[in-house]
Chains A and B, each alone.
Chain A
Amino acid sequence: METNYETIVIGGGVVGSGIAYHLSERYKEGVLVLDKKYPMSGTSGSTQAWVWVHNKTPSWYAEFSMYSAELYPYLSKKIGDVEYKRTGGLSPFFNESDREKAQKLAESYRKIGIKIKVLSREEVLEKEPYMNPEVAGATYSSIDGNVNPFRLIDMYMRAAKRNGVRYSTYNKVTEIKKQDGKYSVVSDKGAFECKNLILAGGTWSREIGDMLGVKIPVNQLRGQILVSEPLKPFLNFTISGLRQANNGEVLMGYSMEEAGFNRATTLDVIQETANMAVQYVPGLRKAKIVRAFSGIRAMPEDGFPILGKVPGQENLYVAATHSGVTLSPLIGTLLTELIMDGETSIPIDRYSLSRFGESEFY
């Protein structure tokens, strides 16, 4: 296998593969993606895969997410059907007192051009007849939706490979050295050299940063998800907490717990999730749960994406974020611009690693 590359991406998940694909649109040779296991074996393969904008706060982060969601229809045209559905998103509330909070959120979003409606009980039930009739209302945004994460990453990989990107999988990076202005990435299957190095290790970002003496403050959060038997199509929207997939299965859950890299499921969370789902959609009480799975999600210390150049390090880039599915087309586009043109069409200074302070480097 070729050992010299223009750019190496560490991590082939939705973020790393998104970057590799977008880079390959601009130059055809010289990109290598290294993955510890196989893309989709980690976070990207254990997600509900919402493309979710509304009720992200503050509004500038929602705006950033919106730009990415806007890219999805074009992405499908370029790489193939990823089962992207702009269903619209509903975030129900059950107390009248929450209406004021919802209205404030809608107001703050209006300023940046995201349309959020605060729906009455009747409007919610008209849109989603199987919703609990005791619902008080919901916030609604038409831009929300979901995607099939397996198709998404598979299509990214296929398109990237067609454009000349190489993948080396089941290949763990063990050491990174910088010499003569180049990076030498040592892996289980040998050493590779590159000019540009992109760290897209998701939950493992901290460990990969350590190899270069760069602190990337990303923690692990475990999310557990329940899957129902295939049911007749009856949910129209992506509801915060659950969605129905194309094959009829309902995916439920948005739990978050600190459990390191432990991917077990626990009945505590499973029962909590089931109760939440039944509160939202009482009919689910009769559905059979066929499996539960958990995924370890990457969560930067302050919750926001870490994107762009690593300060003080030449040709070293980082992309580590929660909500990788929502943000991947935008992150791929922006990192490509940054590497090829030296600047981005949307400012990303806010997301620089430098916000964690110089003292974070060692």
Chain B
Amino acid sequence: MKTDVLIIGGGPAGLSTAIETASRGLDVTIVDEASKLGGQLNQQTQALRPLPSLYESMRGFELANKLIEQIKDYNVRQLLNHRVVGFYADGSAGITDEENVFPVNAKKIIVASGAAEKAVAFPKWTLPGIMTIGAAQTLINRDFVMPGREAVIVGSSDFAMETAIQLMDVGIRVKAIIEKQSGALAKEQEKVRELSRSGIPFYFNSFIKEARGNGQVEQIDVALPDDVITLNVDLVCMDGGRAPILDVLYQLGCSFGFQEELGGWIPQYNNRFQTDREDVFIAGNAAGISTHGPLLLTGMIAGISASEELQAISALEAHEIREALWKELELLEDKEMHSGRVKHLEKFANPVLKDQFIY
């Protein structure tokens, strides 16, 4: 199979990059391991803001539907339930439908593989009933399954607070929020106050010492600064943050650099979101963990840049659009994160890990 642009990952960044490239007449193929496009948006019921000026504020699943609707206007080849498993010697991507592997020869590859949640380990943390906040949200919103009755949340990020509220909305009793730091980390303090008002205790400077249970979690010991308390719970939701999913970029041999603000080791890229492999672009959380608005913008920039190289848009026009998108990115993105991104771009010319496959 041949295509102009192969987009790996059909979440928000992959879809926005698909719109930018397909709308300019390019032959676009999008591959995603799930059975539906939209990625994590599909189970996100929270309102997303701020979004780029093109989009009014909406909930996650609404944005997924809108983006999917938009690409229907163009002829985008969708390989759902498919995965990229490697690359052939001639550079073609090897894509599997879980039965066979076939080559896809793409002029440009845009990697929008997203991020994966990180777990928080403690003794017996593998007992059923202990899961990440994203998994709990998926069970409630996508699968309509109650993950438990009595829960604790480990972590106090915005996403953790949002999940706590969603758990309560479906009738799960949230018994405590456990945070290692000395205060709540959420930027939206309103949600913290809402939870406090409902009488949920926040245990700061605290962590789970151990979980116990027969076949599933039944009890946890929480180490407070000067005490250890035992709680009876059947659900522990933990927020260990997220890490970019980068397997494909390692396989492609892209150079990597470390940028704390963007989630650690990520590929080096320039202001076109182009890696040091000129045919490979990157978008979304794979280019640095961020929020929804910036994710869409990075997808748009990568899409515009790939279109420019495939001569589907003039260099001048591409330059102007890119400038505008970067300005909007700076506005929408958390300041610290954005300064990390700018620092990351500066390192492009001198990658830290140029030869990770060569010793």
Which A residues are closer than 8 A to B by beta carbons?
Answer: 36-37, 41-42, 261-271, 292, 296
Contacts and interface: CB of A to CB of B under 8 A. Distances in A.
A42 B357 CA distance: 10
A286 B251 CA distance: 24
A208 to B, nearest CB: 14
B359 A266 contact: no
Interface string B340-359: 00000000000000000111
Bin chain B's interface residue count. 10 to 19
A267 B101 contact: yes
Interface in B190-236: none
A9 B253 CA distance: 32
Contact of B357 (A264, A266, A270): A264
B74 interface: no
| Across the A-B interface, the 3 shortest Cβ-Cβ residue pairs | A267-B94, A263-B357, A267-B86
B272 to A, nearest CB: 24
A190 B98 CA distance: 53
B47 interface: no
Given A262-B357, A263-B358, 4 more contacts: A267-B94, A267-B103, A271-B101, A292-B86
25 contacts: A36-B359, A37-B359, A41-B359, A42-B359, A261-B358, A261-B359, A262-B357, A263-B357, A263-B358, A264-B251, A265-B251, A266-B88, A266-B89, A267-B85, A267-B86, A267-B87, A267-B88, A267-B89, A267-B101, A268-B88, A268-B89, A269-B89, A270-B86, A271-B101, A296-B359
A270 B89 CA distance: 11
A246 to B, nearest CB: 23
Interface in B69-91: 85-89
Contacts of A270: 86
Nearest to B94: A267
B64 to A, nearest CB: 30
Contacts of A268: 88-89
Contacts of A296: 359
Nearest to A42: B359
Nearest to B247: A291
A36 B88 CA distance: 30
Nearest to A38: B359
Contact of B86 (A41, A261, A265): A265
Nearest to B93: A267
Nearest to B103: A267
A261 B89 CA distance: 15
Contact of B358 (A262, A265, A267): A262
A267 B92 CA distance: 9
Nearest to B95: A267
Nearest to A296: B359
Contacts of A269: 89
A42 to B, nearest CB: 5
Contacts of A271: 101
Contacts of B359: 36-37, 41-42, 261, 263, 296
Contacts of B85: 267
B101 to A, nearest CB: 7
A292 B101 CA distance: 16
B88 to A, nearest CB: 5
A292 B87 CA distance: 12
A37 to B, nearest CB: 5
Interface in B244-283: 251, 253
A263 B358 CA distance: 6
A266 B91 CA distance: 9
B246 to A, nearest CB: 14
A272 B89 CA distance: 13
Contacts of A262: 357-358
A6 B264 CA distance: 44
A37 B359 CA distance: 7
A269 B358 CA distance: 19
A292 B85 CA distance: 10
A268 B91 CA distance: 11
Contacts of A37: 359
